[in-house]
A = this chain, B = another copy of it.
Amino acid sequence: MNIGEVARSSGVSAKMIRHYESIGLIRASSRTLAGYRQYQERDMHLLRFIRRARDLGFSLEQIRQLLSLWNDPGRASADVKRLAEAHIADLDQRIAALSDMRETLVTLAQDCHGDHRPDCPILHNLAEGQAQSSS
């Protein structure tokens, strides 16, 4: 398989496959005489693994660890679980941060007339910045 085909069937762009190779996330593939990268079925599975882990929000560094566990028949599932739970905690933090922003903005937007007049609590809040006395 050329890089284009494995890209299509794994959902990882050719650009990214080359990048993952360059940072050592995946091993360099064999090449044809002309220098074209050649991939096997197992490379496709590896890339799909990476793709799914990315879809779950794991960073490439975390994926590096996941791959090393995946390739270790003597791994402890506790190690995988620990990685997953650390990532869940990170997601929780990011969700909380975004939700806080959202809540503040919704409150401000609700109080904004949204008409032709210039007066606006959103700008007022940004300019004067006292904590909202909402609820």
Contact = CB atoms under 8 A, between A and B. Distances in A.
Interface string A85-98: 10110011011001
A4 interface: no
Given A52-B129, A77-B112, A98-B98, 5 more contacts: A11-B131, A70-B126, A76-B118, A77-B122, A91-B105
A127 B49 contact: yes
26 contacts: A11-B131, A48-B129, A49-B127, A52-B126, A52-B131, A52-B132, A55-B101, A55-B132, A56-B104, A70-B123, A74-B118, A77-B119, A77-B122, A78-B115, A80-B122, A80-B123, A81-B109, A81-B112, A81-B114, A81-B120, A81-B122, A84-B112, A88-B105, A91-B101, A95-B95, A95-B98
- Count the copies: 2
- Could you say which interface size class chain A belongs to? 35 or more
B78 A118 contact: no
Nearest to A48: B129
Which of A55, A76, A88 has the most chain B CB atoms inside 10 A of its CB? A55
A31 interface: no
A56 B95 CA distance: 13
Contact of A115 (B77, B84, B94): B77
